[in-house]
Amino acid sequence: MNEINKIEALLFVAGDEGMSLNELAYLSGQSTSAAFDAVERLKQKYAADGDSALHILEVGDRFLMTTKKEFSDLLKAYATSSMSKQLSQAALECLSIIAYKQPITRVEVDHIRGVQSSGAIQKLVLRQLIEEKGRVDGPGRAILYGTTAYFYDYFGIKTIDDLPSIEDIETQVGDDIPTDLFFDKFNQQFEDEYTEDLGD
């Protein structure tokens, strides 16, 4: 495991929030100058590799792993297709957690799920089910996520208080809260749309 591998792994896990140079240096166990050098070498590696779709983007004081510009049309096509509309189990888990725990950061969602959640959260943002609700005061200024007006409209509720209470759910099903408790409706609609699209 070399220094570039460490930076690559950290930026991948950080997802759309990215990481600052100080955070990269601290977590990878190297000086800020060495961490910056590793980031620059990783940038060059991706730029020189025609078989890689990845790119390192610097936004403010943070570095993010993104895809190269030439893939924008391909990704837009995916984002607007029916294939992107059905939510995965991971996305449903994240949506359930965010709905009940909002406002909440991605790191807190990761902690509750026990796995990395950046991809699922990006999907939920794309589907306009969650949105940024502010940022945490402190190092990194992590994004706080919460549900959107579309979320409320879609599920026919006025406030988050209209969702089933955790206590009621635990009484009905025990400790394991099923992620499809009130999201089956969402996936079924998009499964129907996808089937219709395939038939056209």
pLDDT tens, position by position, 152-170: 887 778 888 877 776 665 5
Checking if the pLDDT of 196 tops 70, the result is no
CATH number of 3-71: 1.10.10.10
Domain with CATH 1.10.10.10 in the chain: 3-71, 81-199
Question: Tens digit of pLDDT for each residue in 27-84?
Answer: 999 999 999 999 999 999 999 998 999 999 988 788 999 888 898 888 777 666 655 5
Quote the distance between the C-alpha of residue 196 and its chain's center: 28
Contact, 57 vs 64, CB < 8 A?
Answer: yes
Count of Cβ atoms closer than 10 Å to residue 121 Cβ:
25
Q: What is the topology classification, in CATH, of domain 81-199?
A: Arc Repressor Mutant, subunit A (1.10.10)
More confident residue, 98 or 13: 98
